[in-house]
Amino acid sequence: MAGTAMTATFLAVLAGASLLAVTARRLRPNDRLPSLEGWALADRSLGPLWTWVLLGGTIFTAYTFTAVPGLAYGNGAPAFFAVPYTVLVCPLVFVLLARLWTVARRHGYITVADFVRGRYGSAPLALVVALTGILATMPYLALQLLGIRAVLTAGDMYPRGATGDLVMVALFAGLAVATYRHGLRAPTVISALKAVAVFVSLTAVTWLVLVRLGGPGAVFEGAAQRLGSSALLLSPAHQPAYATLALGSALALLMYPHVLTAGFASDGSRTLRKTAVALPAWTGLLALFGFLGIAALAVGVRAPEGAAEAAVPMLVDRLMPGPLTGLVFGAITVGALVPAAVMSIAAATSFVRNVYVEYVHPTATPKRQVRVAKLVSLTAKVGAVAFVFGLRDQDAVNLQLLGGVWILQIFPAVAVGLYTRWLHPRALLAGWGVGMVAGTFLVVREGFSPIVPLGTAAGPLEIYVGLVALLLNLTVAVAGSVALERLRVPRGADLTDLPPRLTVRRRPETGANNP
Amino acid sequence: MRPAVITPARVGIALCLVAPFVAMLWVGSYAKTDPALMGIPFFYWYQMLWVPISAVLTMIAYQLWRRDQRARRRGVAAE
């Protein structure tokens, strides 16, 4: 039921977001000439607090906040792989992202493909990294719209037919305009509202759920009755899948252009390390969302067939007073806008830096680069809307699953490249190709399941496809590098000042060699 | 002489950052119901517990890193 109080709070949150977006211009302003660094990275000016809200708000998307509880509602324990996954992200941010930031800042790199270009001196490898990033980001962007739709539908605020679509388009258009004008500053200021709204509303909802249902014990008992108590626990057969999904997703996350863009926008590697310390707060939030999925089971929420992600919005709608429901729905909707904006900026920046300037218009002025990036970011958003209306929801979910497998294939070039350039760029290209083909093949063969059974002596071992593809990729890259080294195939020059190899005994002259 | 690459501080940082990987990926160690806490099966509350633990470990790593940075700067200045 769409109560007036609920709709009013919901609209108030959205209005707050729009107002904030208008003030984005004032966030760390400067009078420099327009540049891609200013538009896409907010002039690398974000301190620890802003980095925390932006990075957290970008990593923890609205889709995460609806899909994880949806999975918990439908499958029970396996959904909670999201907790180890996002716990592991923090040490990775501490080590990889901080190091990447330092190189990027020193050489003026804006995208991760810029780094690959500089490190290996290989244009094809950089192109492949950029295109993989764009390809993996697009379905993720579309999924944010699905997150909004799940919320609007559960709250009965998604009118059937064209009106509902118009509501969503209007929401997105406002964001698109703000992003067009202010770049990354727009999602940054909105992410502050997202953090406050999500943390406040979720704490309140969890509290009320616990009071209404009589404590956490009752919630788990009730859920066990509906789903069977075995579903609330991982059987030994499911454990390898759980662990590999957590690890693979964590490694993949740091390769996504939107996460890197949010990271690059911070004002120092020290800031990023500080942020990594506080990032688990967002993980705690995600775990609470997962718990609400269990609670939805306990309460007996009946989500429509094939739309488990509606379970928690329906639970909230059923149990909570109107204003709080509106706040939750508003928080999730704003929660979709932040990553969507960052994703469109990241995809556009990759396109401009690594395709447009590299291959189409090498002499483009910074001003022109910004203009093209703005148009591309707009196109990306329009594309996402078209995608959601044109294709089935399941297609977006499937493509996002593939996107995760794909983005993992740039891990060797990027993460290994941060420490050593021993891997030959051509071998990396070959490894990437093998990983992409094998990963896609396996995912499609398994009927778009992230898990693939591997036959072993002790019976089938189920593990995450992305990790299988990554292992194949690394094997090819290592073997290829050995071969190419033997054949003395030349490689491009290293333009970065990172040490060429990982040294153990002597500290290299430059750069921090952190473990 | 330059400071060694492997210092006690860096070993500490590595341990702090590797610990969550060991704990979280060793799923067999926590995929069980007992001991339950306030009715929450072990599987759930143990993973939740690792959220603050990982934050504390990262904080220790951060402090060690800062100390290491200062020591290195002093080492370079003394050269």
Q: pLDDT-based confidence at B75, cuts 50/70/90?
A: confident
Domain count within chain B = 1
Tokens representing B30 are 């926590």
Q: pLDDT-based confidence at A17, cuts 50/70/90?
A: confident
The C-alpha atoms of residue A112 and residue A175 are separated, in whole angstroms, by 25
Instruction: Give the count of Cβ contacts less than 8 A between chain A and B.
Output: 130
Count the neighbouring beta carbons within 10 Å of the beta carbon of residue A358.
Answer: 17
Whether A331 contacts A197, CB under 8 Å: yes
When comparing pLDDT for A407 and A316, which is higher?
A407
Residue B2 in domain: no
ipTM of the complex: 0.90
Count the neighbouring beta carbons within 10 Å of the beta carbon of residue A238.
Answer: 18
**pLDDT one-digit tens code per residue, A25-42:** 777 777 777 788 888 888
The pLDDT of residue A184 is above 50? yes
Nearest CA in chain B to A245: B25
Residue B71 in domain: yes
The C-alpha atoms of residue A183 and residue A186 are separated, in whole angstroms, by 6
Q: pLDDT-based confidence at A163, cuts 50/70/90?
A: low
The C-alpha atoms of residue A366 and residue A477 are separated, in whole angstroms, by 36
Residue with tokens 């591997």: A454
Chain A interface, mutation test: which of B10, B15, B65, most A Cβ atoms within 10 Å? B65
**pLDDT one-digit tens code per residue, A24-83:** 777 777 777 778 888 888 888 888 999 999 999 999 988 888 888 888 888 888 889 999
Residues of A in contact with B9 (CB under 8 A): none
Residue B47 in domain: yes
At B53 the three-state DSSP class reads helix
Lowest-confidence segment of A263-267, A298-302, A376-380, B1-5 by average pLDDT: B1-5
Whether A515 contacts A503, CB under 8 Å: no
Quote the CATH superfamily of domain A4-14+42-407: Sodium/glucose cotransporter (1.20.1730.10)
The pLDDT of residue A491 is above 60? yes
B2 touches chain A (CB under 8 A): yes
Whether A206 contacts A290, CB under 8 Å: no
- Cβ of A243 within 8 Å of Cβ of B27? The answer is yes
- State how beta strands A451-456 and A459-464 pair: antiparallel
Residue B42 in domain: yes
Residues of A in contact with B14 (CB under 8 A): 515
**pLDDT one-digit tens code per residue, A215-248:** 888 888 888 888 777 778 888 888 888 999 999 9
Chain A interface, mutation test: which of B10, B15, B17, B59, most A Cβ atoms within 10 Å? B17
pLDDT for residue A515: 45
How much is the average pLDDT of A210-217? 85
Residue B21 in domain: yes
Q: Which of B10, B28, B54 sits opposite A239 (nearest CB)?
A: B28
Q: pLDDT-based confidence at A98, cuts 50/70/90?
A: very high
Residue B17 in domain: yes
Residue B26 in domain: yes
Query: What does pLDDT average to over chain A?
Result: 85
Residue B1 in domain: no
What are φ and ψ of residue A350, in 5° steps? -60, -45
pLDDT for residue B79: 59
HEC string of A325-380? HHHHHHHHHHHHHHHHHHHHHHHHHHHHHHHHHHHHCCCCCHHHHHHHHHHHHHHH
B41 touches chain A (CB under 8 A): yes
**pLDDT one-digit tens code per residue, A187-209:** 898 899 889 988 998 888 889 88
B42 touches chain A (CB under 8 A): no
pLDDT for residue B78: 65
How much is the average pLDDT of B11-35? 89
Of residues A493, A257, A513, the one with CA closest to residue A377: A257
Nearest CA in chain B to A236: B28
Q: Which residues contact A339 (CB under 8 A, 6 or more apart)?
A: A57, A58, A59, A61, A62, A140, A144, A187, A258
Residues of A in contact with B78 (CB under 8 A): none
